[in-house]
Amino acid sequence: MAFLLTGMLGLTACGSGGAAENSADGGPVTLELWDTDTRPERTENLKKLISMFEEKNPSIKVNYLGLPTDSYMQKISTAIATKATPDIITPKASDISALVAQKALAPLDEKFEGGGWDDKISSAMTKSSKAASPDGKLYLTPATSLADVIYYRSDFFKDAGLSAPTSWDDFYAAADKLTDKSTGKFGYTLRGGNGFFSQFVQMVYPQAGVDTFFREDGTSTLNDPAVVAAAEDYVDLYGKDTAESDLTADFKTMVAQFGSGGAAMLSHSIGSYPTHVAALGADKVAAVAPFPSKSGKSVLSGRMTTGFAMFEASKHKEAAWKFLEYTMSVVGNSFWAQKSGYLPGNLEVAKEAWVTENPAMQTSIKALENKDAVVLEQPFYLPEFNSITTTEMLPEWQRVLQKQLSVKDFLTQSAEKLTKAQQKYMKK
C-alpha cells in the first residue's frame, strides 16, 4: 500500500505544471538550446543573452550548443529520429517547413496571444513568421528581422562626383562609372556562389515590380517577362562591372571585396552594417533600399523574421517559453537585436537610439512606411523551396554567368520546379 501510494503521489506531482518544470533532484530546470548559425561573435552574444536570462530566472539553466552552419540539419534530423531533440532551437525561416512536416516544433500561437505579445511585437514580423510555416501557425518567435539594402561606398561616390542612387538607372550608371579594371576596382560585387538566390531576388524582383512568387493558379512568377528582363540587366553586370571571380563569391568574399575597396556597391541585409562600419568607418558606408520599378511599384524583399523555436518533445515547455518570452521582452530583445544588427521585433525597442541612429535600419524602416510598398514573402512554407533555390539552381546560375545558359531558359526551368511544388502544396 505504501509503495502504491508513493507511486500515485509521484504521478500527481508530475501532472502539475509547477512540478513538471523541476529537475529530478529539485534543482534548477536545465534547458538545451541548439544554435544553427554558429559564429564566434554570435556565440558570445547568445551566451551573454542566456546568462542575462538565467540571472533573472535562477530556477532555469540553459545549456548552449553551436551546430555546424553547413550541416546542422543532419544533426537535427538525427535528433528527431532518435527522439533526442533539445528544448530550444534557432531555426532559419527556410527550415520551418521541414521541421513542421516532421511534427518536431511546438506551435506558439496560444502562448503568444495569451502573453499579450500581439500588442508588443511588430505585426509585420509576426505575419512574416507565420508565412514561413505550411499551416500558417506561429512556430518561430518574431524576435528580430532582416531587410535588404544596397550598400555603397559613400567616399567613392563623393570622389566620382556621384550622388546617392535613387533609381535602378542610377545604380547601373554608378556601377559602370566606378569600374576601373586596370586598378582592380569594380562598381559592384555580385554573388555567384553559395546563397546567391537571396541577392538575386533582392536585385531582380523589385526592379521588375513583381511582388509575389506565385500567381493565383500556383504558377511561378520566376519566368515572368518583367523578371526575365530585370534578370538579364542584372546578369550583364558580371564581368563588365564586377570581378570575374564573383562567379564563386559568397557573402564573406563580397564583404572582403567591399571592405578592401575592390567594389563600390554590395547587396545584402541590414545585418552586415556593423561589419562594414567596423572595417571602414561610418563615414564611408551608406545604404539605400531597393528602388521602385519603372512602373513606380515599390517591392520590398528580404524581410525575413528570425527568432527562436521550441521542440514539441521538450519536457520543460513552460521554462522554454519563459526563455522565448525573454528574447521578445524589452531588455532581452534590445540586447539580442542590437548585437545581431537586426531590426527588433519589440515595438518599444524600435524607438531606442541605436535603431533610430542606424542608417541601414532607418532606410529599411522608411521604405516600409511607404503606404504603397508591398513586401515580397518568399515561400519558405514549401518543403522543396530551399533545395530548389540552393542545391539545384546554383550550378545553373553559374552557367548563366558564364554565358552557357540563357537567363530565360534558366528561369523557365526553375519556374517549372517551383510551380510543381506550389501546386502540390495547394492540392494538399
pLDDT, tens digit, 9 for 90 and up, residues 322-350: 999 999 999 999 999 999 999 999 999 99
CB 162 within 8 A of CB 177: yes
Query: pLDDT tens across 140-164, in order?
Result: 999 999 999 999 999 999 999 999 9
Measure CA of the first residue to CA of the last residue in the chain; give whole Å.
Answer: 54
pTM: 0.83
Does 239 share its domain with 356?
no
The C-alpha cell at 79 is: 535528433
Q: Which residue is associated with the grid cell 546578369?
A: 235
Distance in angstroms (rounded) separating the CA atoms of residues 108 and 114 = 10
Q: Hunting for cell 575592390 — which residue is that? A: 262
Whether residues 296 and 185 share a domain: the answer is: yes
Contact between residue 291 and residue 164 where contact means Cβ atoms under 8 Å apart: no
pLDDT in tens, 112-140: 999 999 999 999 899 999 999 999 999 99
338 domain residue, yes or no:
yes
- Report the pLDDT value the prediction gives residue 215, as an integer from 0 to 100: 97
Who contacts 11 (Cβ-Cβ below 8 Å, separation ≥6)? none
Whole-number percent of the chain with pLDDT over 70: 94
Of the candidates 345, 369, 393, which is a domain's last residue? 369
Residue 306 has what pLDDT? 94
Joined together, the cell numbers standing for residue 121 give: 511585437
Tell me, what DSSP letter sits at residue 193? S
In angstroms, rounded to a whole number, what is the distance separating the alpha carbons of residues 333 and 326? 7
Note whether 205 and 121 are same-domain residues.
no
Same domain, 220 and 278: yes
Mean of the per-residue pLDDT values of the chain: 92
Q: Is the residue at 20 inside a domain? A: no
137 and 40 fall within a common domain: yes
The cell for 44 is 558570445
pLDDT band for position 23 (cuts 50, 70, 90): low
Report if residue 2 sits inside a domain: no
| Residue 117 CB burial class (10 angstroms; 0-12, 13-18, ≥19) | buried
How many helices (H) and strands (E) in the chain?
A: 20, 12
Q: Could you report the per-residue pLDDT of 277-296, keeping only the tens digit for each? A: 999 999 999 999 999 999 99
State the pLDDT confidence band at 5, using cuts at 50, 70 and 90: very low
Phi, psi at residue 149, to the nearest 5°?
Answer: -140, 165
Tally of CB atoms within 10 A around 177: 16
Q: How confident is the model at residue 369 (pLDDT cuts 50, 70, 90)?
A: confident
State residue 342 phi and psi, 5-degree precision.
Answer: -105, 165
Do residue 402 and residue 277 come from a single domain? yes
Q: What is the arithmetic mean of pLDDT over 106-110?
A: 97
* 244 and 388 together in one domain: yes
Task: Tell whether 245 and 394 lie within a shared domain.
Answer: yes
Is 18 within a domain? no
Task: Identify whether residues 209 and 241 lie together within a single domain.
Answer: yes
pLDDT, mean of residues 66-70: 87
Please state the rounded mean pLDDT for residues 177-195.
Answer: 96
- Based on the fold, state whether residues 266 and 215 are members of the same structural domain: yes
Q: In this structure, are strands 374-375 and 60-66 parallel, antiparallel, or unpaired?
A: unpaired
Q: Which of 329, 342, 343 has its CA nearest to residue 49?
A: 329
Last residue of a domain, one of 322, 341, 369: 369
Q: Identify whether residues 137 and 153 lie together within a single domain.
A: no
pLDDT the model gives residue 22: 57
Quote the CA–CA distance of 297 and 210 in Å, as a whole number.
8
- Give me the domain span that covers residue 93: 29-146+303-369
Q: pLDDT digits over 384-396, tens only?
A: 998 999 899 999 9
Instruction: Let me know if residue 275 belongs to a domain.
Output: yes
pLDDT tens digits for range 160-174 = 999 999 999 999 999
In a domain, residue 7? The reply is no
For residues 76-86, give the mean pLDDT. 96
What single-letter amino acid sits at 315?
A: K
Q: Is 5 part of any domain?
A: no
Contact 395, 389 (CB under 8 A): no
Q: In total, how many domains does the chain have? A: 2
What is the pLDDT confidence band of residue 193, given thresholds at 50, 70 and 90? very high
Same domain for 291 and 177: yes
Q: Residue 272 sits in a domain of what CATH number? A: 3.40.190.10
* Residue 293 maps to a domain: yes
Boundary (domain end) residue, out of 369, 399, 415: 369
